[in-house]
Structure 1
Amino acid sequence: MAPPPAPAALPAVLHLLRFADLNLTRWDACVAASPGAPPYVQAWWLAAAAGRWAAVVELGPAGEYRSLLPLPTKRRIRGRVGYQPLFTQQLGLVLTPASQQRELADYLAIIKNYCHSFYQQLPPAARPLPGLPPPFTVAERLTYHLSLGPATEVLRQGYAADYRRRLRRNHELQAPLTVAAADNLDELLALFLSYRSAEHTGLRPRHYAPLRRLWAAARARGLAELRRVRHPATGELLAGALFIRYDGGLIYLFAAASAAGRAAGAPLLLLDEAIGRHAGQPGQVLDFEGGSLPAIGRFFANFGARPVLYPALSF
């Protein structure tokens, strides 16, 4: 007697899962199986930046996560708000080869019924976004990318002439400025807050807690690179920067420089040193994480970086 046929596999379906219902082991497996997933969707990053979050998840027959859309939320008087966590440039839809639900609109339809309002930035690969359901709208944001595939000297040839000249002049000084590893993020934050008030940034000192958590979490995983430049005679902190490594390259997450540091070209030295350490890695990029402000965009472009648009969804 022939054995009965195996039952047909159940189709994958989308579910809205609150944080208490998320399986973070399955989450990490889904992200790891997603080609080109942005680093910000990793569970450890979201835990540091948002604490708790919900998600629209595509569940397979065995309960595995075949795709997911992270959904950090906050409670407000008028209802639940989907938001973009601080120090988290992009989130968006994470797809794996096993996914059967590949249309972003299907995920957004669930979010629309869960949130009173919503804002989320997606990776560049999400552009363009056809068929968005109302009331979602899309706007363009700008960052800059520098390919780290070429060798250091080749990349430096792509710098603006003035940048190459300033690097050469610093090298010729009797006591040149140098970049060194650091381990005190609070010192860098204090420098930043000394000239960037809440009026400029819209952020209070408490809003930098996620940055401290990200620094600690990335450092514990060997992914954080904190660098600083001090005055060679006085030891005064002139500038510093926090970089985060990920599979696709390097993120320029946070930086600060005093007026004296900017005048001496310390931010230029910090980025040149990072580029030099990571050059010669095909397929890797340095994401400058910004550039919408013209002056900042010009600064990044002078390293040979190219502008990259990414979408921001909201309703």
Structure 2
Amino acid sequence: MLPRLLRYSEIDLAAWDACVHSAQQVVPYACSWWLQATAGRWDALVEVDEQTGRYLSLWPLPVKWRPWGQQVYQPPFTQQLGILGAAWPLLRGVATIAGHYTSFYTQLNDANGLFSLQDSAPARQLSLTWQTRQTYHLPLDQPYATVRAAYAADYRRRLRLNEAAIVPLLVTATDDAEPVLTLFQQTKGKAADLRSRHYRMMRRLVTSLRKQQVLQVLEVRQPETDELLAGALFVHYRTRLVYLFAAASEAGKKVGAPVLLLDSQIRRYAGTPELILDFEGGMIPSIARFFANFGAVPVPYAALSFTQRPWYLKWMR
């Protein structure tokens, strides 16, 4: 059975979330409440059990409206989507939806695998292209001492120095994500090209994550002044611990506060069967090295795209 294209108004959100939660692919970004916070509305390819109405598989397709047609895009703060649930031919799915969108860009999940498109008829017809992206994963099924032994020597030294300090820096949990967002805006926001709408979107997402009880906000503050040195937002969903958003001041970087934040989570969850810390990034070399220094390994996933001319331009050669 091939999936069919559903518009947002046709999607059964309860069946949707049941499928996402039971899927072999662990993709928190595909939950309806995550997509509602970051995309608002979306189309989807959905395979439905006609007798029970249960969703057997799905592929979220966030859509933007433009004067020249609809575009499928990857929303901010949504690293991976792709096919969840029972497997079916991805390229046949692309061929099914191709005529509905003038442009298409989506990032699959790392369980969908990589593949070659060169010899496929749908790929040639659509000028479909793909590129390899990567995130970094650190399995947390081993004891903390084993995981820590794989850290870079400098990270282990920083941790020992902090542990031996008269007044060590401490990692504390908080319910308030606003200081982390403010610190990011003050330090990296301009370079990251985040606008006001992105911070509004993140605040909506934080509200949803808190409601779903999957959000963890951690901070490192300067003991004498209470200055925020670094903070991070983590999402614990099924067998994934996602390093979603983080910020650090220059003073925080100098004292290794980001290392303390991640080490605290590794210490907390080490020895948990099947749990993976997803660093949610790694395309920038310096950031990739930061993640690799914890012993994390690169994990590839694919990004697909195509562009079609509007109907009124197709006569042009």
Q: TM-score, normalised by structure 2?
A: 0.91
Q: Unaligned 5+ residue runs, structure 1? A: 1-11
Write the distance in 2 (CA, Å) between the matches of 1:110 and 1:224: 36
Deviation at 1:189, TM superposition (A): 0.9
Moved over 3 A (4+): none
| Match of residue 7 from structure 1 | none
Write the distance in 2 (CA, Å) between the matches of 1:29 and 1:166: 43
Q: Is the 2:187–2:248 contact (alpha carbons within 8 Å) kept by the matching residues of 1?
A: no
Write the distance in 1 (CA, Å) between the matches of 2:189 and 2:57: 40
What pairs with 1:158-237 in structure 2 (closer than 5 Å)? 158-198=150-190, 200-237=191-228
Q: State yes or no: 1:75 paired with 2:61.
A: no
Write the distance in 2 (CA, Å) between the matches of 1:197 and 1:227: 19
Structure 2 residue matching 1:282: 3-state secondary structure: coil
Structure 2 residue matching 1:235: 3-state secondary structure: coil
What pairs with 1:250-289 in structure 2 (closer than 5 Å)? 250-289=241-280
> What do residues 3-51 of structure 1 show as CA deviations (whole Å, max 9, x unaligned)?
xxxxxxxxx4432111111111111222233212412111121112211
| Match of residue 24 from structure 1 | 13
Write the distance in 1 (CA, Å) between the matches of 2:62 and 2:91: 18
Q: State yes or no: 1:293 paired with 2:284.
A: yes
Number of residue equivalences: 299
Q: Is the 1:13–1:59 contact (alpha carbons within 8 Å) kept by the matching residues of 2?
A: no
Structure 2 residue matching 1:229: 3-state secondary structure: strand
Q: State yes or no: 1:111 paired with 2:94.
A: no
> What do residues 129-151 of structure 1 show as CA deviations (whole Å, max 9, x unaligned)?
24552222110111110010001
> What do residues 53-98 of structure 1 show as CA deviations (whole Å, max 9, x unaligned)?
11111122223322111110001122111011111110001123xx
Q: Is the 1:143–1:308 contact (alpha carbons within 8 Å) kept by the matching residues of 2?
A: yes
Q: Is the 2:136–2:281 contact (alpha carbons within 8 Å) kept by the matching residues of 1?
A: yes
Write the distance in 1 (CA, Å) between the matches of 2:145 and 2:135: 24
| Match of residue 55 from structure 2 | 65
The one-letter amino acid paired with 1:152 is Y
Q: Is the 2:26–2:240 contact (alpha carbons within 8 Å) kept by the matching residues of 1?
A: no
Deviation at 1:196, TM superposition (A): 1.8
Q: Is the 2:26–2:239 contact (alpha carbons within 8 Å) kept by the matching residues of 1?
A: no
Structure 2 residue matching 1:201: 3-state secondary structure: coil
Structure 1 residue matching 2:111: 3-state secondary structure: helix
Write the distance in 1 (CA, Å) between the matches of 2:2 and 2:180: 46
| Match of residue 108 from structure 2 | 122
Structure 1 residue matching 2:274: 3-state secondary structure: coil
Judging changes above 3 Å, is the alpha-carbon distance between structure 1 residues 270 and 48 closer, same or farther for their aligned structure 2 residues?
same
| Match of residue 151 from structure 1 | 143
The one-letter amino acid paired with 1:89 is Q
Write the distance in 1 (CA, Å) between the matches of 2:163 and 2:295: 21
The one-letter amino acid paired with 1:104 is L
Write the distance in 2 (CA, Å) between the matches of 1:274 and 1:26: 32
Q: Is the 1:90–1:122 contact (alpha carbons within 8 Å) kept by the matching residues of 2?
A: yes
- Identity of matched residues, %: 48
Q: Unaligned 5+ residue runs, structure 2? A: 307-317
> What do residues 160-216 of structure 1 show as CA deviations (whole Å, max 9, x unaligned)?
111111101011111111000122212111111112243x22221221222212211
Write the distance in 2 (CA, Å) between the matches of 1:237 and 1:158: 28
Structure 2 residue matching 1:124: 3-state secondary structure: coil
Structure 2 residue matching 1:194: 3-state secondary structure: helix
